[in-house]
Chain A
């Protein structure tokens, strides 16, 4: 937007209204349609998965060769797979694993990348160069190759797959945090804080970090979905979850040879991945708005 849209006065909507107390969290949540439905969806999936053992669904690992590859119908709402296991049960039990993967990978990547980026961006100079070159090493690899290499070294298994993905992803968070730290560092409130003697640690923790959450949250919510997809891909090539774990990616992998005729074996786990990833994206958008101190609950 050029200067045409930035006259010297702000338009009324943007002028400080001196309004009364900000609407409460609950009120803002209610007014933002997107985040409410996304959060609702994710919460529903989580509850279902946690309640799985007590739900009136079949045992996901119960093999029944007589009932294999049955289409969705009365006894098996999502059909059965090539070993006769109920797909609905597998999807529901698998939800817990997939959601855990999504959250876990992102948290680990954040935990490594954000502090690194903040320190690099805030300190600048040689510290910045050294830290960024280290993280560049990891960026140099194609996105899936590094996790594959790491898993190949560490051995297959879900935990290893998650760790491998997280370790290869942290540079993105480092970059985002670094860019945010660099621009925030120059702001007047940071200079003022230094002027009254706040230590660097205090400034980074209390002022830089909270103000750079927005881009990080957006990336994290997108990555929640990618984490599920990537781990599913690893599972697909046999480097992730091991059978009989009902992980969605593994389910799709197992259905490779039959899904053209027996569509339900891939469709339902695929749909589950789709819903989870979409909900995560909506949640990310909503979180970004919700955490913006200027957002007062107006629908995006």
Chain B
């Protein structure tokens, strides 16, 4: 079984449980989206995969890359995994690259850490990585401050794929970029997966994720509340939160005077009351929602939803208007 598998991941920091239950899978060559807003725990999930959590965090559940268990593993094992089997790119490329060194030097550092080959071989790897992200050889000598936002993000992607990881985690990779540059980076990321690399694309923007991902997981308050094939999810979401999120997103060409909003605020991480995490803001809440954790239902093949009162596929047309 290869790729990334996270099962029932839970993270606790002090009195807060920022991640209550996260389950997701990224198969080789697959693009998977992880959508959630601030406080949903999506970035923590990514950090947990790489063993980059703050020291006082207690965790349970499992994270596996291929057959290797990553959660709770020792530093030595994690060092072998980071960059080589599992890589990550971040939102702000300018702060992820060291301003003091040239791009080429930083790329060489990365490949040099994982491959003990002679320098010409390392250089060849670096050049290949740059080619794959469509940056010419001249970028080897350039420094971060000389590059534009899009070029920096490509450089960071190059660093991440230089060792040909099995899965790449991209945490809001285009939020800081202009919309046309964003489109190009998205296309680049999709092309990179055609050679067998899996991609976990984390974003708060469901529309963005829907452009490239085959499957999407939706997170709310530290739980993966819904998952499924992108097209189906976008057309007819089962979880009330997903449906609300879709409606709250402004879309081009749709005359909207008022956006349907989700009342209330995100559940704080310190909340320990029983029941569904979305109950306080859900218009479809029923009595069971306040008492019990909702069951995980499979309404369609390949899709899961945690809900007592999900929006059933047959009733989509009417229901979406009520939510």
Contacts and interface: CB of A to CB of B under 8 A. Distances in A.
A7 B95 contact: no
B151 interface: no
Contact of A12 (B13, B43, B90, B204): B13
Contact of B16 (A2, A8, A13, A18): A13
A188 interface: no
Nearest to B18: A12
B112 interface: no
B52 A4 contact: yes
Chain B binding surface SS class:
loop
Contacts, number: 57
B67 interface: no
Interface residues of A, number: 15
B193 interface: no
B92 A3 contact: yes
Contacts of B175: 8
Residue of B40, B41, B46, B269 most packed against chain A (CB within 10 A): B269
Contact of B95 (A2, A10, A12, A18): A2
Nearest to B50: A4
A6 B41 CA distance: 14
Chain A binding surface SS class:
loop
Contact of A3 (B13, B39, B90, B204): B90
A17 interface: yes
B210 interface: no
A15 interface: yes
Contacts of B98: 2
Contacts of A18: 265
Interface in B36-59: 38-44, 46-47, 52, 54
A52 to B, nearest CB: 49
Contact of A17 (B18, B40, B47, B268): B268
Interface of A: 2-13, 15, 17-18
5 contacts: A8-B38, A9-B38, A9-B43, A12-B269, A15-B39
